[in-house]
Structure 1
Amino acid sequence: MSQDIQAKIAQLTAELNEYNYQYYVLANPVISDYEFDIKLKELERLEKEYPQYRDPNSPTLKVGGDITSKFNTVKHRWPMLSLSNTYSEQELRDFDLRVQKAIGHPVDYVCELKFDGISISLTYEKGKLTQAVTRGDGMQGDEVTQNVKTIRNIPHQLKQGDYPDLFEIRGEIFMHKAAFLRLNKEREENGEQTYANPRNFTAGTIKLQDSSEVAKRPLDCFLYFLYMDNRNKLFSTHWESLQKVKEWGFPVSEHTKLCSSIDEVLEFIHYWDQARHKLSFEIDGIVIKVNEYPYQEELGFTAKSPRWATSFKFKAEQVETTLLSVSYQVGRTGAVTPVANLKPVPLAGTTVKRASLHNANEIARLDLHEGDSVFVEKGGEIIPKIIAANPEKRKPDAKPIVYPTHCPECNTPLIRQEGEAVHYCPNENGCKPQIVGKVQHFIGRKMMDIQGLGDETIETFYRLGLVRHISDLYTLHHRREELVTIERFGQKSIDNLLKGIEDSKSKPFEKVLFALGIRHVGETVAKKLAQHFKSLDNLQAASIEEIASVQDIGIRIAESIHQYLHNTDNIAELNKLKSYGLQFHIEEKEVVRAGNSLEGKTFLISGVFADYSREQLTELIESHGGKMLSSISSKLNFLVAGDKMGPSKLVKAQKLNIPIISDQELLAMINKE
C-alpha cells in the first residue's frame, strides 16, 4: 500500500512539474487550470498524509515555472509568489474565518479581477523604469525590459511626485481579445502557427528576442501591487497604495473594490462571473487581498503563497458535441495516451476539435461509445476535456470504445504495471515515437541543452537513419557529408549543432542522469541520486534496496532505475556515452557560509521593522547558521518582534517562555562571533 502511495506521489509530482514547464517556459499549456488544480490538491492531500514521500522540490511548494535561456536571469528582491485558489464559495468563507482567527476580528478586503496574462515586476529608480522581470520560478525571472518598454501604457519616466527613489510595482501583461483574433487570423493567412488563446500569445510575444517585433503586437498592462522598503511608513493599506500609484501615472484597473465583509466579496464575484464576458480581455477569476498592511505582515506566507490573499476561479464553460473517434499517441516513455476527436464546436472563444482522455480508466469511467454525444468543458479556457457522455442520445447499436491491447505504432502488446493507470509499450528500442522522444528529451534545455538541435531536426535525422540512439548524436561529426545534403541545412547550422553536441559533454552528472529518460527519474530524483552515489559506477553497483534507501526515492523508483541500468542494450549505450566523454561522476563544491553564531538556534520573525525587511532578516539568520520556523511552538528559541506584531503571537510566546528579541538584539547575537 505504501509503495503505491509513494508511486502515486512520484507520478503526480512528475506530471505537475512537466505541466508547469509547458505552461511557464514553453507557453504551451497541455492541461486546463481546473484539471491542474485538482491534481495539485490531490498531491497536497497525499503529501499531508504521507509527508515522508514528499519531494523537497514538489510542485506544491513551487511557484511558476523555470527560466528560459534566452534572457538575463534576475533574482527578485521580493519573491513573486503565486496565489492559492479555490472554485468553492465555502472554501472562500473558510479563508475568511482563518484570517479573522489569526487577526482577532473581521477585516477589509480588496477585490481585483484576475487577469489571464503573464505576471511582471517593474523596478523604478528616481521615477525611471530601469528593469522589467517575469515571474520565472518565483525567486528569479527573465529580464525583458526592452520588450516591456514597447507597451504603451507603461510609463518610462514618471512625472514629479511623492514616490520613493526605489520601488517595484507588479501587475499583469495581457492582450485584448480583438487584437488576439486579428493577429491570429494574420498568422493563419501567412501559414504560421496560431495561438490557442490570448494568454499564450502574450507569453510568446514578451519572450521574443526582437523588441521591434514585440512593438507590432498590441499588449496592455494593469498594475496592482507595490513593493518598497519601509512601505508601511507611507501607506497603512493596499487600497491607499492603489490610489497613490494611479496618481503617479500607472495603469490600475477601474474594476477594483474595497469590501468590508466576505458577503460583499461574494457579491463582487457573482457580478463578474456574468459580466466578465463583456470585458475586452480575458479574466479567469477574482483576487481577494487583506487590505491592511500590518495584517498582511501578521498573516505572513507559506513556502508558495501569501496567507493574506487568495483567488476565486470561475468554472469553465461547457458545450455538447459528437465523439467522432478516439486515436492513441505514444510518448517517449512508451505511455499510450488516448485522444478524443470531436465534431468541431465553438467553446469559450475557440473551436474545439480534440480533447484528452488521459487513460483507459477515464474511457471506462465515462462509458464512452462510438458516436456518443458528449459534454465538453474548457477548464481555464485552454484545453478541452470530456466531462460526461449523454446516454439518452446514444444509438442502440453503438459499440463501446475499447482500449487497444497492442501499441498503435509498433504493434507490441501493451503492459500496465500494478498501481498505475497508464498502459505502456515495452518496445522502447524499436518503437519510433519512443526512440525519437528519448532523443528529443535528451537534447532539451533542462537536460543536455544541446544548442542547434530541435525536435524537427531529430525527426529528420531519424527518418534518414542518422540517429537511432542517443549515442548516435556523438558520431554526427563523422557524417558531415550526409548532413550537408539535408534540405535547408547549411554549413552554419551544421557547425552550430556540432558545437552544441561537443559543449554538452561538459554538462554535470545530474543533468546526464536526468537526460537519459529513465522512467520515474525526474530532475529532482536525478539530483538526489547524483549527490548520494557520486558516480554512475556506484549507482550501477547498488542494489534495489540501497537505491530505495536514498531519501524520497522508494522501491518503485529504485526498481525502475535498477532495471534500466542492468538492461544489456542500455549498458552498451551508457558505455558508448562514457567513451564519448560525457560526465558520469559528480564534482562536489564547498558550501561557504557567512558565520556560525546562530548555529542550532531557531527563529520566527513577526511585525514591521524600521531598518530591515523581514526577507533581509531571514537571510541574515540563515547565512549565520540559524533556522527559520513557520509558527510558535516549544521548538522555537527566539521570536524576533517588530512593530504591529499580532497580539496572539505575543501571548503564545510568553506562555511558552520563548525569548522575545528586537532586530538590534538579533544583530548583537550575530556580531558576538
Structure 2
Amino acid sequence: MTSPEGVSGELSERRGRHAELTELVEQANWRYHVLDSPTVSDAQYDTWMRELRAIEEEVPELRTPDSPTQKVGAPISTDFAAVQHLMRMESLDNAFNAADLAAWQVRAERLAEAEPGPYLCELKIDGLAIALVYEKGRLVRAATRGDGRTGEDVTPNVRTVQGVPDRLSGDDVPDLVEVRGEVFLPVEGFERLNEQIMDAGRPPFANPRNAAAGSLRQKDPRITAQRPLRMIVHGVGKWEGAAPPRTQSEMYDRLRSFGLPVSDLYRVVPGLTEVQEFVEYYNEHRHDPAYEIDGVVVKIDRIDVQRQLGSTSKAPRWAIAYKYPPEEVTTRLRDIQVGIGRTGRVTPYGVMEPVVVAGSTVERATLHNASEVVRKGVLIGDTIVLRKAGDVIPEIVGPVADLRDGSERAFEMPTHCPECGTALAYEREGDADLRCPNARACPAQLRERIFFAAGRNAFDIEGLGYVAATALTQPLPPQDPPVRTEADLFDLTMDRLLPIKSIVRDQDTGLAKTDPENGEQKVVSFFATIAGAPSKNAEKMLEQLEKAKAQPIWRVLVALSIRHIGPPTARALADEFRSIDAIAAASEEELAAVEGIGPRVAATIKDWFAVDWHRDIVDRWKAAGVRMEDEPPADQGPQTLEGLTFVVTGTLAAYTRDEAAAAITSRGGKVTNSVSKKTSFLIAGENAGSKHDKATKLGVPILDEAQFGTLLTEGPEAFAPLDEAEKEPEESGE
C-alpha cells in the first residue's frame, strides 16, 4: 500500500509536470499562431498535449478553463484589430492510428444512439484557419481563428486571395453566412516565393504554412496580393435566412454554387473500413495534391447527427483529424561533413541529433552542394527544420533563426578529398559541384562504383551490397584489396575472399560506423564464418557474379558508371549499336544522333572510352566472359511497335519495369524515361505519379496494365482513335 506521504509526493510531481508542460505548450502556441515562427515540431506539440491530457485524467482538478487542453489556438497579435467570431471556431481532436479512429466512432455511436455514418473524408490542409462573413452575399469581414472566440481582422488582405469572391452568386444565398476554411500556399507557389525572397537577400520561409501565415499578416495588402495565396472552404459557422443544408456534402455543393472555393478531393463513404482506405490512400499519395497536407479530417456527413453530438469544451464530437506521421521536424545540426560519390562529386551533408521523422530515425541529411548550404543559410549548431517524405532522402529545409544563441558557426567546404587527399576541383567552369579528380585510385569512388555496378539497375548481383563492396575495396590494412578497379570484379575467387576483414561504413556517407557502447569501429568478416568457412553471402555473391556475365549489354553500360548513362540511355545505345565495341568506336556525331543522347552525353561517352584504365575494365570483363554484344533473337516476332516511343511508370502486377521494357523493345518499340509530346503511349501502373499528370496535360495516350497486354497482343491498332462516324453518341443532359 502506498503511504499518504508517497501519494502526496506523486501528486506534487504530477502538478509540477503539468505546470511545466503548460508553459511549453503556451510558448509553442504563441510562436505558432502569433509569431509564425514555430520552434517545435507538430509531433512534439502533440506529444506534450497527450501527456497533459493524461495528467488531467489522473488529477481532474488540473483541468481548469486556463489549461491548454481547454483552449483553442493562442492569444492573438495586437498588430491587427480584434474581432469576435459569430460562433466559436473549434479545434479538432486527433487520431494517430486505426484504434483511435475506431474509438472515436464508438463514442459517436454511443452518444447518437445509432450508426453515425455515412462519413465525409477530406484532406487536412496545412494552412491558416480563416473565417469569412458574408452579409447579403457581400464579404464584410475575414478573421484568423485566434483563440477560437476572438480573431484578427485581416479583411483587406483576404480580399487579395485568388478564388475568394467579394460577392456570392446564386438565388439561395443566405442573408448571413460565416464560412470557415484554410488559406495556404500551393507547393509550387511556395518554392517560387522562396526563390524571390532569397534573391532579395532575405532568409527563406521554412515551410508553406509559415509562408502563408506571414503573407496574410502583411501590413500592406499590396504585398499580400503579390503572394500566390489560395483558400479552400471546409465548413460553416453561422447560417441565417435560407434553408440550411442537410448534410456536410450538400453544404459543399451549396458553397461551391455560391462561387466559394471548395475542394474536389473529398469523399462520402458508408463506414469506417472505407474511411481507413481513404486515409491509407492519401498517406501513400501525400504529395499528389498541389498543397501540403498533414492528415485527413473525418466528419459525420449528416448535420442533424452533428447537432445531436455537439462539442466538448474545444472540439466537435462529430469530427476528428487523422494525423499522419510528421514529415517535418526540428532537431540540432551538430556538424556539416562531406561524402564522395561514384563520379567524384563532393556532397555536403548534415549530421544531426537523431530524430524520428516519417516513421524512421534520421541523423544525416543531404545539403547537395556548397552553394546550397549558403542558399539555405544553415550554420553548424543551428536548430533546423528537417523534411523526409516516404523513401526520399532526408533534406534540411532551413534554420530556425530565432533560436540562435551566437555559438553557431559557418561551414567551410574542404579543399581536399577526405578519403584520398587529392585537391578538389570543378570539372568545368560554371559547375555547381566540386569533384575529386582521382577517379582511379580514390577509395571512396571505387567503393561507390562497385556498389552501384552490383545494383538492381546494373548487374543486379544479390549478395554484393554496401558492406561487401567496402570489404572488396577497403579491407583492413595490411590486407590488399581484392578489387583495385572494376576490372578485378569478375576475377574474384573464394580463396581471395575468405581472409578479408573490413570496417563497416554508413551507406549514405561512407563514414566508418562505431559501436555506441565503446566507441570502437565496427569490423566484420563478411566472406567467412567464425569457423573460417565460406559464408552464405560469399557463396551467393560468387554465384550471382557468374550469372551476371550473361546480362544484356545495356546493363553492362550502366555498370561502367559513365556519367549521364542511366538505364533508358543505355537501352537506347544498346538498341542502336548492339555491342560495347561498336559504342566505343562510334563517332560523337553517331552517338549524338541516338534518341536521348545529344552532343554533351556523346562527348562524355567518347571521353570515357579514351581513358586507358577504362578500356582495361572492358577488356578484362570481356576476357572473364561478360557479354559484350547483343544479337537479335532468332525467333524475333513481328515488329508491331516499330517507330513508337513508350514511357513505363508506376507498379505493374505482371511485369517488372525491365520486363515491360523488354516486351516493348522486342516488338521494335523504344522506351524512354521522360514524357514529352513525342511519347506515343504512357504505360501506367499503380502509383503512376507525376508522369501520369504530365501525359494527361500533353494529351499522351495512357494505358493501364490490361490495355498494355492488349497492345502487345493486338498492336497499336487496337487503340487507334475512332472516326467521328464510329463514335458513340453522347448522352443528353436531359
Counterpart pick for 2:123 among 85, 88, 113: 113
Matched, 1:251 2:370: no
Question: What are the within-5 Å matches in structure 2 for residues 29-428 of structure 1?
Answer: 29-106=38-115, 107-229=117-239, 233-317=243-327, 324-325=334-335, 340=353, 344-345=365-366, 394-396=513-515
Distance 1:176 1:83 in 2: 23
Deviation at 1:179, TM superposition (A): 1.2
Question: Residues 58 and 399 (structure 1 numbering): CA distance in 2 closer, same or farther, change over 3 Å?
Answer: farther
Deviations 1:277-318 (A, max 9, x none): 122210000001111111111111111111110000111249
> Which residue in 2 is equivalent to 1:12?
21
User: CA deviation digits over 1:413-461, x for unaligned, max 9?
Assistant: xxxxxxxxxxxxxxxxxxxxxxxxxxxxxxxxxxxxxxxxxxxxxxxxx
Amino acid at match of 1:220: R
CA contact (8 A) 2:101 2:322 kept: yes
Structure 1 residues 34 and 143 mapped into 2: Cα distance closer, same or farther (>3 Å)? same
- The answer (yes or no) to whether the contact 2:42–2:326 under 8 Å persists in 1 is no
Residue pair 2:133, 2:178 contacting (<8 A) in 1 also: yes
**Which runs of 5 or more residues in structure 1 are unaligned?**
327-338, 359-374, 384-389, 401-673
Query: Is the contact between residue 340 and residue 355 of structure 1 (CA under 8 Å) also seen in structure 2?
Result: no
Question: In the TM superposition, what is the alpha-carbon distance from 1:322 to its structure 2 partner?
Answer: 12
Match of 2:68, SS? coil
Alignment size in residue pairs: 366
In the TM superposition, residue 397 of structure 1 has moved relative to its aligned partner by: 8.9
| Distance verdict in 2 for CA 1:378–1:345, change over 3 Å | closer
Aligned with 1:228: secondary structure? strand
Shift of 1:340: 3.9
* SS of residue paired to 1:179: helix
Alpha-carbon displacement from aligned partner over 1:480-538 (angstroms, at most 9, x marks no partner): xxxxxxxxxxxxxxxxxxxxxxxxxxxxxxxxxxxxxxxxxxxxxxxxxxxxxxxxxxx
- The 5 Å alignment of 1:572-651 reads none
Q: Deviation of residue 344 (structure 1)? A: 4.5
Residues 398 and 270 of structure 1: is their aligned pair in 2 closer, same or farther, counting only changes over 3 Å?
Answer: same
Residue 473 of structure 1 is matched in structure 2 by none
Contact 1:9 1:54 in 2 (8 A): no
- CA–CA distance in structure 2, aligned partners of residues 264 and 355 of structure 1: 46
The one-letter amino acid paired with 1:41 is R
C-alpha contact (below 8 Å) 1:31/1:382 kept by paired residues: no
Q: Secondary structure at the residue paired with 1:217?
A: coil
Q: Aligned pair in 2 of structure 1 residues 325, 357: CA closer, same or farther (>3 Å)?
A: same
Pick closer, same or farther for the CA change 1:289–1:355 going to 2, 3 Å: farther
Between the aligned partners of 2:276 and 2:317, the Cα distance in structure 1 is: 19
CA contact (8 A) 2:169 2:257 kept: no
1:101 alignment partner, SS class: helix
From the superposition, tell whether residues 393 and 230 of structure 1 become closer, same or farther in structure 2 (CA, over 3 Å). farther
Q: Aligned residue for 1:362?
A: none
C-alpha spacing 1:195/1:108, structure 2 compared with 1 (3 Å): same
Cα gap change, 1:284 to 1:90, in 2 (>3 Å)? same
Please tell me whether the aligned partners of residues 224 and 252 of structure 1 are also in contact (alpha carbons under 8 angstroms): yes
The 5 Å alignment of 1:379-528 reads: 394-396=513-515
Cα pair 2:86 2:237 within 8 Å, conserved: no
In structure 2, what is the Cα distance between the partners aligned to 1:231 and 1:98?
33
Q: Deviations over 1:632-672 (max 9, x none)?
A: xxxxxxxxxxxxxxxxxxxxxxxxxxxxxxxxxxxxxxxxx
3-state secondary structure, aligned to 1:130: strand
User: Which AA in structure 1 matches 2:110?
Assistant: K
Letter in 1 for 2:144: T
C-alpha distance 247-273 of structure 1, shift in aligned 2 (>3 A): same
Q: Secondary structure at the match of 1:278?
A: coil
Instruction: State the distance in 1 between where 2:297 and 2:234 align.
Output: 11
What SS does the aligned partner of 2:273 have? helix
Flag the 1:144–1:207 CA change in 2: closer, same or farther, 3 A. same
Do the aligned residues in 1 keep the contact of 2:366 with 2:395 (CA within 8 Å)? no
Amino acid at match of 1:253: S
Name the aligned partner's letter for residue 79 of structure 2.
K
**Residue in 2 that maps onto 1:25:** 34
CA deviations on 1:529-570 (whole Å, 9 max, x unpaired) are: xxxxxxxxxxxxxxxxxxxxxxxxxxxxxxxxxxxxxxxxxx
Tell me which amino acid in the other structure corresponds to 2:40. I
CA distance in 2, matches of 1:236, 1:29: 39
User: C-alpha distance in 1, partners of 2:316/2:367?
Assistant: 37
Letter paired with 2:123: L
Q: Find the counterpart in structure 1 of residue 698 from structure 2.
A: none
Partners of 1:300 and 1:26 lie apart in 2 by 32
Q: Comparing 138-147 with 153-162, which one deviates more in the overlay?
A: 153-162
SS at match of 1:223: strand
Shift of the 232–267 alpha-carbon distance from structure 1 to 2, 3 Å rule, reads farther
CA deviation after TM superposition for structure 1 residue 160, in Å: 3.7
Q: For the structure 1 residues 147 and 322, does the alpha-carbon distance in structure 2 shift closer, same or farther, using more than 3 Å as the test?
A: closer
Q: Deviations over 1:310-337 (max 9, x none)?
A: 0001112499x997459xxxxxxxxxxx
Given the superposition, is the C-alpha separation of residues 164 and 53 from structure 1 closer, same or farther in structure 2, using an over 3 Å criterion? closer
Which runs of structure 2 are paired with 1:649-664 in the superposition (5 Å)?
A: none
**Distance change >3 Å, CA 382–CA 271, structure 1 → 2:** farther
Shift, 1:345, TM fit: 2.5
Choose between structure 1 and 2 for higher RCO, CA contacts under 8 A separated by at least 6 residues: 1
- 1:396–1:213: structure 2 CA closer, same or farther, 3 Å change rule? same
Query: Contact (CA 8 Å) 1:323, 1:343: kept in 2 or not?
Result: no
Residue identity matched to 1:191: G
Amino acid across the alignment from 2:71: K
Match of 2:287, SS state, is helix
CA distance in structure 2 between the partners assigned to 1:67 and 1:318 by the alignment: 25
Q: How far 1:233 moved relative to its partner? A: 4.3
Distance in 2 (alpha carbons) for counterparts of 1:170 and 1:239: 15
Structure 2 CA distance for partners of 1:30 and 1:235, relative to 1, 3 Å: same
Residue 236 of structure 1 and its aligned partner are, at CA, apart by 1.5
Q: CA distance change for structure 1 residues 132 and 250 in 2, over 3 Å: closer, same or farther?
A: same
Matched AA of 1:257: R
**Residue identity matched to 1:162:** D
Structure 1 pair 232–39 and aligned structure 2 pair: CA distance change class (3 A): farther
